């Protein structure tokens, strides 16, 4: 048979490497990421990153890790050459950042790369130079233990890709971002970043993530960051720092999440974080979050993306709920810190007599706050409430988790019915009066406290409703004269599809022909005149969410609407007894630092701040 000419042919090795490089090496920062991962995998405790022209001209990374011997140094340039895994089962027991064995080969194929490495204390190491992936020369040279890789002229042999590189400053920004992420995840490693010989970052070794966060994101954030420390069973653990709801950013770029020490930007995790802050933030605001999830490597697949930014969980919703609930639990007590911002407490100690020991009252229990961050941290990481203890500490692993996965509203709501004696932060305030019929003025020690009465009521109403809904105890009142609602087609369909659910919210609604409904009973909490408007709002909300059974998701939104309609507004005079009743209620609920829309409930001004206003300091 004559040899036929084929259309299909196998690509040459160096072209394969260039194609692979397209996935791994997008820009200088991708190289910084891969090389940093290699240094960390090599156990380095000191890493120096030097860039020129944003990394476009030079990227050089020097580490004091384990280094490589002569043979390994050569092998490291080969594609699919790795010391980190051997069999496919290793893929699901990864303890290293790298494992694909293609970074060095890919980087070398699109640059001029020099590797210097030494794996011994005798001072004899290897130096290998490659251009476009082809080794040009190799020598034995005197070197300290560790590895030093220089990547010059990125994409010199791929001019088309080179055109996509951005301005020096932009590329530098991306690279610094990569260093930031690795540095957050590895506080015990020192990182130095230089650009065009200028020192950009100089991070010494730290004991813990707190100091690293201070060094990287700003020390001033610390007083507003809450430590997170939760565990579920033996193979899920969440630690780190998250901002209190009043500390926000306009973009999600300050949400740093890590899984088993690897930075990831995962949709599920991101969603879980925002879920943890649900109803605490204004629209378009994002928290500052540095979170580390430790999970059994068998439960997560990191090999779904060439740069390993995304992962796949075996039990996605379990991980999601664990993260969301851990954050909710942490934030639940956020008013605790609001009530004694660290600055305030130290200021007080410094400036006023020591008898003014700062105290916070939490669920009737007095906690003395010392002036050191550490002390506060240790207070904080202890379970504050008995129900937390039940849930996270004292139960056997199995049960611990079952409990944890229950919806928050059902298992943990703290609302106790009015009438029971409550003592707490708000009831402990000295009431000075009302300002502009909207704000309550109070005194706490030497501090002035301003409370937004509308926000406070909304939060109370919302928590009450949420509790009652979960307990199935929303009571309704029958209307003497049913109200007839006329809706547009879409709202009518949405409402008609959800009459059952609405009944559990206290609304008795019956179809009244066409697009009309008869409203026969409404939740007791509501004023008659508000009810019709509210049902229209609810119908719109249902329509927005769609009829595909997403009601559970939007129940909270509906409860917020209901709370909004049921509460005291601004511009309403309040008698002292009414204020006291409000405070009683505030002390009995969780999440009291913000209204359900995320607006703050209270603001604090220290005596010092007031004195500054009058130039007394």
User: What residue 39 binds from Mg ion, ligand ADP, none (CB within 5 to 8 A, per partner kind)?
Assistant: ligand ADP
DSSP assignments along 166-189, one per residue = --HHHHHHHHHHHHHHHHHH-TTS
User: What residue 264 binds from ligand ADP, Mg ion, none (CB within 5 to 8 A, per partner kind)?
Assistant: none
With tokens 């605790």, the residue in question is 336
Residue 504 sits at φ, ψ, to 5 deg, of -70, -15
Rounded to 5°, the CA angle 338-342-347 comes to: 120
Q: Rule CB under 6 A: is residue 84 a binding residue for ligand ADP?
A: yes
Binding segment for ligand ADP (CB under 6 A), chosen from 60-68, 184-192, 391-399, 407-415, is 60-68
Q: Closest CB to ligand ADP among 37 and 557? A: 37
Give least dist CB 154 to ligand ADP, A: 16
Give least dist CB 106 to ligand ADP, A: 8
Give least dist CB 307 to ligand ADP, A: 12
Q: Rule CB under 6 A: is residue 76 a binding residue for ligand ADP?
A: yes
Tell which one of 66, 214, 499, 568 touches ligand ADP (CB under 6 A).
66
Residue nearest to Mg ion (CB): 98
Give least dist CB 145 to ligand ADP, A: 10
User: What residue 147 binds from Mg ion, ligand ADP, none (CB within 5 to 8 A, per partner kind)?
Assistant: ligand ADP
Q: Rule CB under 6 A: is residue 189 a binding residue for ligand ADP?
A: no
Give least dist CB 149 to ligand ADP, A: 7
Check: CB of residue 586 under 8 Å from CB of residue 426.
yes
Residues 117-156 that bind ligand ADP (CB under 6 A): 147
Reference 298, options 40, 95, 97; nearest CA is 95
User: What residue 66 binds from ligand ADP, Mg ion, none (CB within 5 to 8 A, per partner kind)?
Assistant: ligand ADP
Residues 76, 46: Cα–Cα separation, whole Å: 21
Size of the site for ligand ADP (CB under 6 A): 23
Reference 288, options 355, 213, 360; nearest CA is 213
Binding segment for ligand ADP (CB under 6 A), chosen from 77-85, 300-308, 341-349, 468-476, is 77-85
Give least dist CB 97 to ligand ADP, A: 7
Tell which one of 20, 58, 104, 494 touches ligand ADP (CB under 6 A).
104
User: Per DSSP, which regions of 3-133 are E strands?
Assistant: 46-52, 58-63, 112-118, 124-131
Q: Closest CB to ligand ADP among 74 and 352? A: 74
Q: Closest CB to ligand ADP among 32 and 429? A: 32
Tell which one of 62, 64, 82, 391 touches ligand ADP (CB under 6 A).
82
Residues that bind Mg ion (CB under 5 A): 38, 98, 103
Q: Closest CB to ligand ADP among 86 and 615? A: 86
Check: CB of residue 464 under 8 Å from CB of residue 418.
no
Residue nearest to ligand ADP (CB): 98
Pairing label, strands 289-295, 255-259 = parallel
| Number of Cβ within a 10 Å radius of residue 442 | 21
Reference 183, options 206, 153, 167, 160; nearest CA is 206
Binding segment for ligand ADP (CB under 6 A), chosen from 33-41, 213-221, 366-374, 547-555, is 33-41
With tokens 């879409």, the residue in question is 490
Check: CB of residue 151 under 8 Å from CB of residue 104.
no
User: What residue 76 binds from Mg ion, ligand ADP, none (CB within 5 to 8 A, per partner kind)?
Assistant: ligand ADP
User: What residue 187 binds from Mg ion, ligand ADP, none (CB within 5 to 8 A, per partner kind)?
Assistant: none
Tell which one of 29, 39, 180, 427 touches ligand ADP (CB under 6 A).
39
Q: Closest CB to ligand ADP among 98 and 133? A: 98
Q: Rule CB under 6 A: is residue 68 a binding residue for ligand ADP?
A: yes
DSSP assignments along 405-450, one per residue = TS-HHHHH-----BTB---STTTTSEEEEEETTTEEEEEETTEEEE
Per-residue three-class SS string for 107-151: HHHCCEEEEEEECCCCCEEEEEEEECCEEEEEEEEECCCEEEEEE
Binding segment for ligand ADP (CB under 6 A), chosen from 58-66, 325-333, 342-350, 562-570, is 58-66
Binding segment for ligand ADP (CB under 6 A), chosen from 96-104, 155-163, 560-568, 570-578, is 96-104
Check: CB of residue 126 under 8 Å from CB of residue 70.
yes
Q: Closest CB to Mg ion among 80 and 615? A: 80
Q: Is 250 exposed, middle or buried (0-12, 13-18, 19+ CB in 10 A)?
A: exposed
191-218 core/surface letters (b: 16 or more CB in 10 A; e: else): bbbbbeeeeebebeebeebbbbbbbbbe
User: What residue 566 binds from ligand ADP, Mg ion, none (CB within 5 to 8 A, per partner kind)?
Assistant: none
The answer for residues whose C-beta is within 8 angstroms of residue 136's C-beta and 6 or more apart is 129, 130
Q: Rule CB under 6 A: is residue 62 a binding residue for ligand ADP?
A: no
Cα 38 to Cα 118, 182, 203, 242: the distances in Å are 15, 12, 19, 29
Q: Closest CB to Mg ion among 38 and 363? A: 38
Residues 365, 333: Cα–Cα separation, whole Å: 13
Q: Closest CB to Mg ion among 103 and 492? A: 103
Give least dist CB 209 to ligand ADP, A: 24
- Coil, strand or helix: which one is 546? coil
Contacts to ligand ADP by CB under 6 A = 34, 38-39, 42, 63, 65-68, 76, 81-84, 98-105, 147
């Amino acid at each position: 048979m004559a040899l036929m000419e084929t259309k299909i042919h196998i690509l040459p090795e160096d072209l394969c490497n260039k194609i692979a490089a397209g996935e791994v090496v997008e820009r200088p920062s991708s190289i910084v990421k891969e090389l940093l991962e290699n240094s960390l995998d090599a156990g380095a405790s000191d890493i120096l990153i030097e860039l020129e022209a944003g990394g476009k001209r030079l990227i050089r990374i020097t580490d004091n890790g384990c280094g490589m011997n002569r043979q390994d140094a050569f092998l490291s340039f080969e594609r699919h050459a790795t010391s980190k895994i051997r069999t496919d089962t290793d893929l699901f027991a990864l303890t290293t950042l790298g494992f694909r064995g293609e970074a060095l080969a890919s980087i070398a194929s699109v640059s001029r790369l020099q590797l210097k490495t030494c794996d011994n204390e005798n001072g004899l190491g290897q130096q290998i130079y490659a251009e476009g992936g082809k080794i040009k020369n190799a020598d034995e040279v005197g070197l300290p233990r560790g590895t030093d890789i220089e990547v010059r002229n990125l994409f010199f042999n791929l001019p088309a890709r080179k055109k996509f590189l951005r301005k020096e400053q932009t590329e530098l920004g991306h690279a610094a971002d990569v260093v930031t992420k690795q540095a957050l995840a590895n506080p015990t490693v020192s990182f130095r970043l230089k650009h065009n010989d200028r020192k950009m970052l100089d991070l010494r070794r730290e004991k813990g993530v707190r100091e690293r966060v201070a060094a990287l994101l700003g020390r001033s954030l610390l007083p507003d960051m809450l430590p997170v420390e939760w565990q579920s069973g033996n193979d899920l653990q969440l630690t780190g720092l998250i901002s209190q709801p009043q500390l926000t950013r306009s973009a999600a770029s300050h949400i740093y999440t890590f899984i088993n020490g690897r930075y990831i930007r995962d949709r599920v995790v991101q969603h879980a974080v925002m879920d943890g802050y649900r109803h605490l933030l204004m629209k378009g605001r994002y928290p500052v979050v540095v979170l580390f999830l430790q999970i059994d490597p068998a439960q997560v697949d990191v090999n779904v993306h060439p740069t390993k930014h995304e992962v796949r969980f075996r039990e996605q919703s379990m991980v999601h709920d664990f993260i969301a609930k851990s954050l909710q639990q942490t934030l639940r007590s956020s008013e605790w810190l609001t009530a004694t911002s660290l600055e305030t407490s130290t200021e007080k100690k410094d400036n006023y007599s020591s008898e003014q020991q700062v105290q916070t009252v939490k669920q009737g229990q007095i906690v003395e706050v010392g002036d050191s961050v550490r002390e506060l941290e240790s207070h904080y990481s202890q379970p504050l409430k008995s129900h937390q203890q039940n849930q996270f500490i004292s139960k056997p692993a199995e049960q611990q988790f079952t409990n944890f996965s229950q919806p928050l509203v059902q298992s943990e709501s703290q609302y106790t019915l009015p009438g029971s004696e409550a003592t707490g932060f708000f009831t402990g305030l000295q009431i000075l009066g009302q300002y502009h019929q909207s704000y309550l003025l109070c005194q706490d020690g030497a501090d002035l406290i301003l409370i937004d009465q509308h926000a406070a009521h909304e939060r109370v109403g919302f928590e009450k409703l949420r509790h009652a809904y979960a307990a199935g105890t929303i009571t309704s009142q029958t209307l003497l004269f049913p109200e007839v609602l006329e809706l547009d087609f879409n709202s009518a369909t949405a409402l008609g599809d959800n009459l059952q659910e609405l009944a559990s919210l206290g609304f008795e609604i019956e179809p009244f022909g066409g697009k009309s409904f008869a409203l026969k009973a409404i939740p007791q909490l509501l004023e008659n005149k508000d009810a019709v408007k509210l049902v229209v709002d609810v119908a719109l909300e249902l329509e927005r969410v769609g009829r595909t059974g997403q009601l559970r998701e939007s129940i909270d939104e509906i409860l917020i609407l209901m709370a909004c309609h049921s509460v005291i507004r601004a511009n309403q005079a309040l008698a002292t007894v009414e204020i006291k009743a409000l405070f009683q209620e505030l002390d009995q609920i969780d999440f009291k630092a913000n209204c359900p829309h995320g607006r703050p409930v209270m603001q604090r001004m220290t005596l010092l701040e007031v004195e500054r206003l009058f130039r007394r300091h």
